[in-house]
Structures are given as structure tokens and as C-alpha cells.
């Protein structure tokens, strides 16, 4: 299936595996790439040295194109961009809008730039700055999310920009891919669906928690880091909802100290990144401090296998997923389903069939 996305980045299928912290490492990204989709390496939880090693590991596992997700507001963003350029990575994706200068630097080096956006105005801004495509996530998506559903947000963005649009939030099968294409998207991006594969490094016990969840077991809370965050509803999340402001800030201080050790960053560097985050997202200092909760609470579940001590970011689709295919099986199934849906539509509503009801 050829779309503007496949032609832009050189993959066989218009499917993207999103850059999930602690999850989207070399193993998952290379499996996705070998399946013909676009794997995105999550770098926010890696040091610069770890990122370079991870990029080289992916390259050793697959000859296919892949991408790296960056935090545009990170103090070492340019160092990470230099790794992407030096190592010949095909795609740079961003959780926050990169600057016009950063986009130009990447494009001059032949790197495809795909920022993630959650609003029409953000898509218009990065398109005007030269972004090659945008990934638009509706409220159904996991992690940090907005309030507008994908079915409302996606056509807004498609109508507003003249570059390929990748749809995220609520996708997990071939029917969703066809629906996104009908809205004008060039492909779909999925996080939770790729997290729940046999190639995902998430511990089996944690995957089992996801598979057991219903749609109603996925909730949105602001009590982890001060911003809306979609995740599985657990006893820990319920406790966070009940906890007071001082307890939340004290927990964030502990997690900031822990993340400093894991990331190798000094307090001065964390402060600079916090200041950049504050201005980039217009946050209060309390929210900036709370942001330290996110990487460590995700790590407890996604790496250590301790969901009782951490949180599990999740799209609403977790409630309708019930298996753990490999990435190759997942992508092949998704494309087969999409072909069957399109064939069915042509047979039902093709030339000479007349409008529904005739």
C-alpha cells in the first residue's frame, strides 16, 4: 500500500510504532522496521551515549528505515540531533514542536522531520516552519493527551496543512487504518498496540495487566505530573488521586533524584531542562517538579515489572486488545484486514451499486 507516508520515509506499510519511553528500544524498533512499518526509538529516557549505542544496535538488526523521537526542549537536543544526522537515521520525530532552526538543520541533512501535535494550530505552525509531515494524536491515545477525539481532530488537521498527516489515538486494526485513510491521513501510528506484542520488552506480568483491562479501566489523570495523562486505572493511580499537593511534590523530589542517577544528569542540567519545559508548555513550577514523576513511575512498571509502584500509560484501545502477536504478525494482519475492508467496500458501494439503501 503506497501513501504519501510510505513514499516519504521509504517503508512498505503506512504504519508507525510510536516512541514510548522505556518501551521503544532497539528490540521493538528493529522488529517493527523488519515488519515493514516505521519504528520510532524513544530517546528521552536515554543518555546521549545510550542513544548513539541504541541507534547503532537498531542499524545492526535491520537495514530498513527507522526514526528517533526527541524532546525539543531538552538541553542536549542539538547533541541528539547530531547523532541522528551522523548515524544516518531516516526520521526525527518530536513530542514538542522543534524550532524552525532545528527543522532546517535536520532537513538540510536529509532527515525527515515529523513533529507530534495535538491541535490544529500546532500543525499549522510546524508545517509553516518546514516539517515534512505531522503526527496528530486525538484524546484516545495513551500518555499525555488532549480532550479532542481523533475523529474530530484528524480531519481538522488534514484540511489545514498540505503535508502528510499520520493519525494516532484509537488505532489497533485494519479497519482503523482504512478509516484514517478515508479521513485523508497518510497512515496511522500506534503505541499501545505495539506495546502489546511479543517483541515488546515490557515484562509479561505487566502485559497481562493490560490484556485484562476493559475500556473502562483506562482513565485520564493529572496527578502524576500535572498534565492530562491517559493510563490504566490501578490502586496506585487511585491513591495518587487522593493524595494531597505536598505529598505529590515530595514524591516528585524523590523521583527527580532517582532520575538524575539513572540519566546521569546533574541538578543544574535538570533545572535547565525544567526551565525550558516550563516555558515550552506554560507550566507552573509545581507542574515542572511533578514532571519528574513520569519517567520513574513508568520505569517501575515498564522496566522493573512493578505496576504496584508505577503507572502504565495506555490508549483506550487496551480495552479491546486480547493477544500478543509479533510485530511481523501484527503488521501483516493489519494490512490484510485493511485490504479485506477496502475490497468489501468496493463490492458493496462500487460502480453501479447505487447509494446505501437502494
What structural domains and CATH numbers belong to the chain? 4-201+325-347 (3.20.20.70), 204-316 (no CATH)
Rounded CA separation 180/176 (Å): 6
Tens digits of pLDDT across the chain (358 residues): 999 999 999 999 999 999 999 999 999 999 999 999 999 999 998 999 999 999 999 999 999 999 999 998 888 999 999 999 999 999 999 988 899 999 999 999 999 999 999 999 999 999 999 999 999 999 999 998 899 999 999 999 999 999 999 999 999 999 999 999 999 999 999 999 999 999 999 999 999 999 999 999 999 998 777 789 999 998 888 877 877 666 666 666 665 665 555 555 555 555 555 555 544 555 565 566 666 667 877 888 999 998 888 889 999 999 999 999 999 999 999 999 999 999 999 999 987 665 555 5
Query: How far is residue 189's CA from residue 191's CA, in Å, rounded to a whole number?
Result: 7
Amino acid at each position: 500500500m503506497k501513501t504519501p507516508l510510505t513514499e516519504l520515509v521509504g517503508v512498505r506499510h503506512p504504519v508507525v510504532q510510536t516512541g514510548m519511553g522505556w518501551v521503544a528500544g532497539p528490540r521493538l524498533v528493529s522488529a517493527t522496521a523488519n515488519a515493514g512499518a516505521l519504528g520510532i526509538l524513544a530517546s528521552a529516557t536515554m543518555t546521549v551515549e545510550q542513544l548513539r549505542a541504541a541507534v547503532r544496535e537498531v542499524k545492526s538488526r535491520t537495514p530498513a528505515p527507522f526514526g528517533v523521537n526527541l524532546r525539543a526542549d531538552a538541553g542536549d537536543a542539538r547533541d541528539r540531533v547530531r547523532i541522528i544526522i551522523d548515524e544516518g537515521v531516516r526520521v526525527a520525530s518530536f513530542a514538542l514542536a522543534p524550532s524552525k532552526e532545528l527543522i532546517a538543520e535536520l532537513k538540510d541533512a536529509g532527515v525527515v522531520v515529523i513533529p507530534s501535535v495535538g491541535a490544529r494550530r500546532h500543525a499549522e505552525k510546524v508545517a509553516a516552519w518546514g516539517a515534512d509531515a505531522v503526527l496528530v494524536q486525538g484524546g484516545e491515545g495513551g500518555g499525555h493527551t488532549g480532550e479532542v477525539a481523533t475523529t474530530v481532530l484528524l480531519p481538522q488537521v488534514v484540511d489545514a496543512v498540505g503535508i502528510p498527516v499520520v493519525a494516532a489515538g484509537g488505532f489497533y486494526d485494519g479497519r482503523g487504518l482504512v478509516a484514517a485513510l478515508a479521513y485523508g491521513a497518510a497512515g496511522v501510528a500506534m503505541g499501545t498496540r505495539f506495546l502489546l506484542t511479543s517483541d515488546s520488552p515490557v515484562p509479561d506480568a505487566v502485559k497481562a495487566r493490560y490484556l485484562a483491562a476493559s475500556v473502562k479501566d483506562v482513565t485520564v489523570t493529572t496527578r502524576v505530573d500535572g498534565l492530562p495523562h491517559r493510563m490504566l486505572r490501578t490502586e496506585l493511580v487511585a491513591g495518587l488521586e487522593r493524595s494531597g499537593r505536598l505529598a505529590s511534590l515530595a514524591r516528585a523530589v524523590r523521583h527527580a533524584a532517582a532520575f538524575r542517577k539513572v540519566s546521569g544528569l546533574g541538578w543544574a542540567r535538570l533545572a535547565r531542562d525544567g526551565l525550558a519545559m516550563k516555558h515550552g508548555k506554560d507550566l507552573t513550577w509545581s507542574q515542572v517538579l511533578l514532571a519528574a514523576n513520569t519517567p520513574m513511575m513508568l520505569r517501575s512498571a515498564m522496566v522493573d515489572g512493578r505496576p504496584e509502584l508505577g503507572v502504565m500509560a495506555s490508549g483506550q484501545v487496551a480495552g479491546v486488545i486480547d493477544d500478543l502477536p509479533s510485530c511481523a504478525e501484527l503488521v501483516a494482519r493489519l494490512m490484510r484486514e485493511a485490504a479485506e475492508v477496502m475490497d468489501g467496500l468496493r463490492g458493496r458501494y462500487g460502480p453501479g451499486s447505487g447509494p446505501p439503501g437502494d
